């Protein structure tokens, strides 16, 4: 096997590892929120450090491939897409940490509403991250397109959360401050969905040479 092929396999493996760390961060942040567990929320900070480290490793590997191997055509697109993907994955890690910071600030306070839609948002975003990375490794165009469309599910859930919480804020509920915190958490999950969608778009680019621009595609 050529050295170049070995390095591409290493790139796939590292992307899978980064994806798994990101998925873990989202899951821990969501569980910390649901269980009102401050100690659990603090663990996301350590995951964020691991995500940052592997982000730098992947970036260094991609630059090595570009400079030493001078890839062309599809291989060049693949490496360029990987560099773009890790930027979005790193931001997802940051946003999972932001969610955990809010959970820590809430300090175990009882929830003012039943957390129904926010956990579903977390599950949906984990699915998007997992499948977008799988699509890259397997070069699966249809799977990447399905991830892009699935972002609508996250957006719909955010709209439901927003509606419920804005009603609480408008009512003058004395716990309106927590409603704002929960709205921010929901917004972070919505952004995570957007970044996972971006990852899938870069997968499409790596396969066919151009990105999907519209959700309808």
pLDDT digits 0-9 by tens, 101-128: 999 999 878 888 888 899 999 999 999 9
Tokens standing for residue 78: 């693949």
Instruction: Report all structural domains of the chain as residue ranges with CATH numbers, in order of start.
Output: 3-208 (1.20.58.220)
Please tell me the pTM assigned to this model: 0.91
pLDDT of residue 81: 93
pLDDT digits 0-9 by tens, 91-101: 999 999 999 99
Residues 6+ apart with CB under 8 A from 157: 117, 118, 120, 121, 124, 186
pLDDT digits 0-9 by tens, 59-90: 999 999 998 888 788 889 999 999 999 999 99
């Amino acid at each position: 096997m050529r050295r170049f092929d070995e390095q591409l396999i290493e790139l796939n493996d590292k992307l899978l590892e980064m994806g798994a760390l990101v998925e873990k961060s989202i899951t821990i942040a969501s569980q910390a929120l649901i269980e009102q567990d401050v100690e659990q929320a603090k663990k996301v900070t350590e995951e964020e450090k691991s995500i940052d480290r592997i982000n730098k490793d992947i970036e260094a590997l991609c630059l090595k491939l570009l400079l030493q191997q001078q890839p062309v055509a599809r291989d060049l697109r693949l490496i360029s897409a990987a560099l773009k993907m890790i930027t979005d994955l790193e931001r997802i890690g940051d946003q999972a940490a932001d969610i955990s910071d809010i959970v820590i600030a809430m300090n175990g306070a009882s929830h003012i509403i039943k957390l129904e839609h926010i956990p579903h948002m977390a599950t949906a975003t984990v699915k998007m991250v997992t499948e977008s990375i799988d699509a890259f490794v397997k070069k699966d165009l249809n799977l990447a397109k399905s991830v892009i469309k699935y972002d609508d599910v996250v957006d719909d859930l955010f709209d439901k959360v927003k509606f419920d919480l804005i009603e609480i804020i408008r009512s003058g509920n004395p716990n309106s401050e927590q409603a704002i915190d929960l709205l921010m958490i929901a917004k972070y999950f919505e952004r995570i969905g957007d970044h996972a969608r971006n990852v899938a778009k870069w997968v499409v680019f790596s396969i066919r040479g151009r990105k999907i621009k519209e959700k309808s595609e």
